[in-house]
Amino acid sequence: MGKLNALNRAATVARAPGVTVQIDAQNRAQLLALIERLPRQRIVMFGDLVADEFIYGEIARVSREAPVLILKQREREIVPGGGGNAANNLNDLGVQTVVVGLVGEDEPGDALLRYFRQKGMSTSRVLRLPGYRTPTKSRILGGLAHWQRQQIVRLDHEPAALPPPAVRRRLARLAAEAASSATGALISDYGYGTASPAAAARLRRSARRQARPVTVDSRFDLGAYRELTGATPNEPEIEAMAHRSVDNDLQCLELLGRRILRRQRFEALLVTRGRDGMMLLEPRRAARLLPIFGSDQAVDVTGAGDTVIAAFTAALAAGADFLRAAMLANCAAGLVVMKRGTATVTAEELKEAVKNA
């Protein structure tokens, strides 16, 4: 019975609609031209700023107090996560990046602001809120000396409540004002209250006056966003919205994705599928399937979704159609998952990868 079910699933996938696209010579030339135009783009990243903390240690011994390992801490670093990681990816792609968000008056907030300034990103639109706790994800990694370190546990430190309405309105106003002179905008909603569908509508109206793309990556509330240029949900997020399992059925995935397109009036939906690549959906077009770029043995998928939305938005701002923007995002994702931790992809890395595709 198990073998029969597996054969049925394979047959379903084989019958799935859609056109598989690869990087051929013509696409390669267009993608390289897109990368050259990235430094001329100015993109607003509006969303939740998260501090990704990494604590590295070496295994010393087993504790006498409990059957747990004792680590000697060797290193500690804090890098931008969440919307901050999307902004960091935009910046490393050469894009002029405007960060709009919120941090607390705490050590993680200090670290994020310092990081952005060292990278040359303006923090004038990042508000500091007394009493607010900067969302922080602390990952503890350990291993023996000269061995590869493995993540042991993650601790999440979250704000006690959403930002006050007045603060959220001010952030929305700052984002809309910045978008009026930008070539695109990216909304990163991790559920901490900085971004919202109402703020997105204001941002969209500002960007539309200049015919600029506005994209969204929403972890928990994608169904509330309307009339944006595009979104980049992953397959589990699609399943959660539909209360239905896709189970590797591409016909089912396309059906659910097209429902989102129609209901929310998006111009495109780029669904990320892990080692199975991506699916691009547009109204009145056949689904396009993008095989995974590079190896399917990812080293670390931390923050890969931020890289996807950053590259996708940057390409659209530079004049790409949805297919080429998806191709560039797929390349960037394939590169970043081969790096450890919350990582980024540079324009030079992307250029070399496209040349050798």
Instruction: Return the residue matching tokens 């199975």.
Output: 276
Do 170 and 186 form a contact (C-beta atoms < 8 A)? no
Q: Which of 187, 258, 190 is nearest to 220 (CA)?
A: 190
CA-closest candidate to residue 228, choices 183, 273, 186: 186
Catalytic residue among 48, 52, 217, 306: 306
For 29, the token pair is 């030339």
- Residue 69 pairs with which residues in a beta bridge? 62
Q: Which residue is listed with tokens 């059906």?
A: 255
Is 306 one of the annotated active-site residues of the chain? yes
- Give 320: exposed, middle or buried? Use CB within 10 Å, 0-12, 13-18, 19+: buried
DSSP 131: T
∠ Cα 110 116 121 (to 5°) = 140
How many angstroms separate the CA atoms of 113 and 116, rounded? 5
C-beta separation of 74 from 115 below 8 A: no
By three-state DSSP, how is residue 242 classified?
A: helix
Dist CA 269 CA 266 (whole Å): 7
Cβ–Cβ under 8 Å, residues 183 and 212: yes
Q: Given CA atoms 267, 18, 23, 233 in this order, what sign does their dihedral have?
A: positive
Q: Which residues are catalytic?
A: 306
